Chain A
Amino acid sequence: MAKVIVYPPTSMILSDLVERMGHKALVVPEAVRKLVTQNEIDSPPLNVTPEEPKKGLRYAAVDVPSGVRGRMALIGPLIEEAEAAIIVGDPGCLTGCAGCSRTNELVRLLIRTKGVPILDLAYPTDDAEARDFVQKIRTFLEGLK
């Protein structure tokens, strides 16, 4: 079972297909859960403490907006953990923690420079493309140890 990071990091379709095919999908909600469901909330409401942007400093410079560093505090450790990646280009609709274009550029860059196997795809627009989409993901995931 490989740990596969998906982009967009909040994608339902990609995380479902990865889990369905027996691998572990690395997704942002897991990182959010660790923060917001702790027994002690140090910084209500979302428990984003001053430590989070500091964690983000490992991935982005200090003059980068704190929003990018805050997001990277969640997504960066997932990238470090990843053993493979599935990237869907031009996802169309990204909001919430995945709604920052600069962060998304950095996430894609870090995934590509990490040197793990990467599958690049586009969201399907018809049935034939959907079959191809699922087939490519299955073939890619079956090739992982």
Chain B
Amino acid sequence: MLVTKYVITSTESNILPSDIAMKIYGSKYDVRVKETCFGVIVNGEEEVINSLVKEIRDLDPAGIFIKDRGFPPGDPRRCRGRRGGGARPGFYMIESESKMLPMISRALASEGKEAGAIPEKKKPLPIKRLEEIVKEG
């Protein structure tokens, strides 16, 4: 079965979408590739794509993220070139989550290393304590 996957790079990754595209072009795999501003879209047989994706992830294990896509690349039902412009519906979710990718990448990279304790968030003053303060005053 043909599957399509997004390969998305964190903005702090040293790997560019063009690097990934060039790696795929130079690989033995028979897949379709589309380079985008945030990564690449790859389309091919499921087993081929799964092994290709593993190789791509090895380029930067903490900085490359993989997501499934329903439509093949350039599909006229989703391609904005055929729909009169505008981002396709699923782009907003990717855009929203892309802002968090650098944090997640750093978290993945720091796994196994000793991380500092997570500071507790400041809680609002309990009402009972506030009443005590007022009575003390």
User: Interface of A with B (CB < 8 Å)?
Assistant: 8, 10-13, 15-17, 19-20, 25, 27-33, 35-37, 45-46, 91-99, 123-124, 126-135, 138
Q: Is the CB of A30 within 8 A of B70?
A: yes
Shortest Cβ gap from B122 to chain A (Å): 14
Residue contact B70 to A12, C-beta cutoff 8 Å: no
Instruction: Kindly list chain B residues whose C-beta atoms are within 8 Å of the C-beta of A97.
Output: 89
A131, B118: Cβ atoms under 8 Å? Answer: yes
> Least Cβ distance of A20 to chain B in Å?
8
Contacts A93-B96, A96-B89, A98-B93: A131 and B71 contacting too (C-beta < 8 A)? Answer: no
Which among A11, A25, A124, A129 is the interface contact of B93 at CB below 8 angstroms?
A11
Partner of A128, one of B71, B92, B93, B118: B118
Residues of A within 8 A of B65 (CB): 12-13, 16
Q: For the complex, would chain A's binding face be called helix, strand, loop or mixed by DSSP majority?
A: helix
Q: Which A residues are CB-close (under 8 A) to B101?
A: 13
Shortest 8 CB-CB contacts between residues of A and residues of B: A32-B70, A93-B96, A96-B89, A130-B103, A29-B68, A130-B107, A12-B67, A29-B70
B79, chain A: closest CB distance, angstroms: 12
Q: Given A16-B67, A30-B68, A93-B92, do A131 and B97 touch, yes or no (CB 8 Å)?
A: no
Q: Add 20 more A-B contacts to A8-B93, A12-B65, A130-B104 (CB < 8 A).
A: A11-B97, A12-B8, A12-B67, A12-B97, A13-B65, A13-B97, A20-B57, A30-B70, A36-B77, A37-B71, A45-B77, A91-B96, A93-B93, A95-B90, A96-B93, A123-B100, A124-B104, A124-B107, A127-B106, A131-B110
CB distance from A135 to the nearest CB of B (A): 8
User: Contact mask B73-116 → A, CB, 8 Å, 1/0?
Assistant: 00101000000000001101111110011011011101100011
